[in-house]
Amino acid sequence: MPPKQPKFAFVSKGNRPVKIDLEKQITHFIDSKRIEKRSPKTISAYFQVLEQFRKWFVDTGEKEISSEILRKYIGYLTSEKIRWDDYPTSPNGGCGLSARTVNNVIRNMRIFLNYLMKERIISHSPMNAVNYQIQNKETFEIFTDEEVTKLLGSPNLRVYTGRRDFCMMLVLIDGGLRIKEMTSLLVSDIDFKLRQVTIRAEIAKTRTTRIVPLSQRTIKEIEKLISYMDL
């Protein structure tokens, strides 16, 4: 006697495809992030990830987005996507993006689809069934004292650019600032008496103001640079 066949074939909610007007919803999503006062860099990252997916999805000819489609896209990024082909001024690299880059894509697309759920555009997110890739732990080597000394000795202090670069290196080494934070500093951010610098919320990555102490040597070199510039 043949085995009984089930009367109904159940498909889990997470595996059901969803239909989205990507161009319209990406615009609404980006607008919402601007209203939330997200940084221009964050908004640009969201848009780049979503617009790349939209173009790929249009090329497939598919009408609905499913977990299977999303996995195919992740597979494309992992094995077929040409690195740097989105940047006209950069030479193209090899095929396939790193696990770190792919995971950033997965993260941003999850945020987008969760937003659509919150706005009741879709009932569920097919991205929830897509797992992150395993990343190798990244390690890096630090400069030795001799290398730091050699680096600080390289600028020509007799010219403005050399003195400027020397001060920038001192601030980075002494205060541990991020590059963008350092290049966005104003003279008014520096307290020469207390030997400290204020990292304003609008230039800090964490959007939080913080005070960073600087050594007497660094403060003196900054004063020399300002005097050299006649500010």
The residue ranges of every structural domain in the chain are 13-129, 145-229
If pLDDT is split at 50, 70 and 90, which confidence band does 183 have?
very high
Residue 166 buriedness (CB in 10 A; 0-12 / 13-18 / 19+): buried
Class of domain 145-229: mainly alpha
Cα(169)–Cα(161) distance, integer angstroms? 12
Cα(146)–Cα(159) distance, integer angstroms? 24
Evaluate whether 162 touches 155 at the Cβ level (below 8 Å): yes
Tokens 């993260």 -> residue? 107
φ/ψ (deg, to 5) at 154: -80, -35
For the chain, what is the mean pLDDT? 88
What is the CATH code of the structural domain delimited by 13-129?
1.10.150.130
Evaluate whether 85 touches 92 at the Cβ level (below 8 Å): yes
**Coil, strand or helix at 36:** coil
- Among candidate residues 161, 176, 164, 175, the one with its CA nearest the CA of residue 224: 164
Please give the residue that has the higher pLDDT: either 70 or 92: 70
Would the pTM of this model clear 0.95, i.e. be above it?
no
